[in-house]
Amino acid sequence: MAGYQTDRGAVYSLGYHLVWCPKYRRPVLVGPVAERLRELVKQKCDEHGWSIVALEVMPDHVHLFVRADPEASPSYLANQFKGMTSRVLRQEFPALRSRLPTLWSRSYFASTVGNVSAATIERYIDTQWERPWRKEQAR
């Protein structure tokens, strides 16, 4: 079961692609701010046991592909990353406080990422009764 994680009651493979932007899409995520943001995202993942598959900090937005446990909803993930990073970055870089009323816009993009396509899952579910051992159970 390569690529799957387990805990006491579940086997899972949950990946999320998250994107969020600074307020007014200002290009403030450069140089030391961008480097510190990367460190903070990694720190938050370590704190929760999530794993970063890919992370790109662009001047005006952040792309994160993260694997998380079933208890972490996409909104929880986005709020964890945005809340902590905003507080710390605005404390450490006063220029961010003077340029923006808040660091991040209220919105974010979230998409699930899986090992199996939606078409494969649909086909698997649609053909459940066609499996030989299922036909025996139906009798």
Q: Which residues are catalytic, by number?
A: 124
Q: What is the CB neighbour count within 10 angstroms for residue 126?
A: 9
Cβ contacts of 8 within 8 Å, gap of 6 or more: none
Residue whose C-alpha is closest to residue 81's, from 133, 127, 132, 37: 37
Q: Encode 52-62: b = buried (16+ Cβ within 10 Å), e = exposed.
A: eeebebeeebb
Structure tokens at 128: 């459940």
